[in-house]
Amino acid sequence: MTQEQALEFIQINAVAMGLPTDNTRLERAASHFIRTQAMAQLLDQVDCPADLEIAEIYCPKQLAP
Amino acid sequence: MSLHNLSSADIAQGISKGSFSASEVLQSSLDRIEATDKKVNAFTAKHVDRAIQKAQSIDALRASGASLPPLAGVPFAVKNLFDVQGQVTLAGSIVNRHHAPAKQDAFLIQQMAAAGAVLVGSLNMDEFAYGFTTENTHYGPCKNPHDTTRISGGSSGGSGTAVAAHQVPLTLGSDTNGSIRVPASLCGVWGLKPTFGRLSRRGTFPFVNSIDHLGGFANSLDGLATMYDAMQSPDALDPGCHVKKVEPVLSSMQHGTQGLRIGVLNGFFEDNASPQAREVVATAAKALGVHAQVQWPDATLGRIAAFIITASEGGALHLDNLRHRIEEMEPLSVDRFMSGALQPAAWYIKAQRFRRIYRDKVNALFENWDVLLAPATPVSAPVIGTDWLEIQGQTLPSRAAMGLLTQPISFAGCPVVAAPMWPSLNDSLPLGIQIISAPWREDLAFRVAKQLETLGICHLKKVEL
């Protein structure tokens, strides 16, 4: 992903989420985004079977102590 | 006698014996804060009236002949994301100034008060806990008492500094990715990040619900253990508080390390450590007679997943602030919040699913080991304003890199005692180690910490301010 592509992604999604769209700020956010995207690519290579659920916090009812 | 240098045990014992009163201890702490805080900028508020009332109530309790609770008359302070009744919970921001004052104290403050401790103030931090340096633009940077040109670490920087500067013997903080362990390391004090789910987070301003932990700092290991024991309690009102019973550690700390399987983390934890960071771990290992090298599973991926979850949850939490009050947000972190708010959901979900695999691997590791050692930070405290660090030939962004070695551990939820150490290669600057144990086995980490304290390896140093 290039800096320009990251900036384009950030611009479009900032509009969708109702976030400020001044270019200087979006460029800085895009710089962070592109670093995170590189990390996310590494994580994406991990094989997760379909039945692997997310780590849980939700609990429908507290168990009795 | 300088009361502000005493440990919490010495304070409680002295009050109990009548050597001095809780009111005298409080005054000593307030005087010390007055004399030093302009130099270190740890406190954002002092709660003098309630502190005086509490100290007087302890003195009255003693005068009545009743037995005193374990932290009777011990001054403490809290990171300013803890609710304090009647105060606005700032969480390091100016955005929150418009919030209503808290109706009651945070759960852990209530626990500390029940143990007799005296709340004296609230402490500086990175805005909304998103940082490792406490270079807070709104309230000024928190400074390292060992060298005030340097950072205290963060995000609980005020909590580390207040203990290192002998302003209070105990403080509370939060740790999502390293925010207790980093300032403990850089300020040279004891720190504890318990197991995820051990201590209730009710009444604190969140950062990343699925990773946030609360814990504390102390000027003595006994004080850290006493405080931790006092704060423990099940709490059905915090969905992230998983414990059903209290498991004290103070009484078992003296059991020694005989029979414990202790190793040193290599790989990621060596590759991202400076010579000073490697030295302190080697010193601790030698003192304990430890030679085994241990590989932590998927440390890089664990850090990445924690990074992504942090950005997504943090960004989502502050979406309204980003939309409407972005100009009032911390310049050093606002762009990260914005980027995080716009991350694809698939990244976040993948990171959360990976966390389950990661947990299983870490739990499997602890079937063969009881306690593992690693540096708490890659380097000692950088100068305030440092943007980039050189670590083992890599140029890394300073503010993120300070949490490199803590992030993989907290993502697994393991408890860690951060122990103060002093590399010989430094000019009096501390660099701590992480004493890591399996989830729910804080007792084992405390036993190893006690051994290192007894051997004289881990200790505080006085500061000149």
d(CA B26, CA B74): 8
CB-based contact, A27 to chain B, within 8 Å = no
pLDDT in tens, B280-313: 999 999 999 999 999 999 999 999 999 999 999 9
The domain locations on chain B are 3-454
- Measured between beta carbons, which residues in chain A are less than 8 angstroms from residue B323? 17-20
Check whether A60 has a pLDDT greater than 60: no
Residue (of B387, B304, B178, B319) closest to A36 by Cα position:
B304
Calculate the alpha carbon distances from B66 to B63, B80, B112, B117, B321 in Å.
8, 33, 19, 16, 50
> b/e per residue, B375-412, with b = 16+ CB within 10 A?
bbbbbbbbebebeebebeeeebebbbbbbbbbbbbbbb
Pairing of strands B170-175, B75-79: parallel
The residue assigned the tokens 């716009």 is B342
Angle at B431 between CA B75 and CA B278, to 5 degrees: 150
Rounded to 5 degrees, φ, ψ at B321 are -65, -40
Amino acid identity, position B372? L
CB-based contact, B342 to chain A, within 8 Å = yes
Do residues A40 and A6 touch, judged by C-beta distance below 8 A?
no
Q: Which of B236, B335, B352 sits opposite A28 (nearest CB)?
A: B335
Regions of chain B where pLDDT drops below 70: 1, 426-427
pLDDT band, residue A51 (cuts 50/70/90): confident
For the annotated catalytic residues of B, the residue numbers are 79, 155, 179
Check whether A61 has a pLDDT greater than 80: no
d(CA B254, CA B270): 30
Rounded to 5 degrees, φ, ψ at B347 are -65, -45
In this prediction the ipTM stands at 0.90
Rounded to 5 degrees, φ, ψ at B397 are -65, 125
Give pLDDT, residue A64.
60
- pTM to 2 decimals? 0.96
Q: Which CATH number fits domain B3-454: 3.90.1300.10, 1.25.10.10, 2.30.30.360, 3.30.750.24?
A: 3.90.1300.10
**Residue B245 burial (CB count, 10 A):** 8
Do residues B189 and B463 touch, judged by C-beta distance below 8 A?
no
CB-based contact, B307 to chain A, within 8 Å = yes
Residue (of B182, B149, B207, B216) closest to B398 by Cα position:
B182
CB-based contact, A10 to chain B, within 8 Å = yes
Angle at B259 between CA B258 and CA B265, to 5 degrees: 100
For residue A56, what is the DSSP state?
P
| Percent of chain A scoring above 90 in pLDDT | 72
Contacts of residue B41, defined as CB under 8 A and 6 or more positions apart, other chains included, come to: B124, B139, B140, B141, B142, B143, B158, B161
- Measured between beta carbons, which residues in chain B are less than 8 angstroms from residue A46? 301, 350, 354, 357
pLDDT in tens, B245-261: 999 999 999 999 999 99
Six-digit token string for B66? 């009743």
Among chain B residues, the shortest Cα distance to A26 is held by: B335
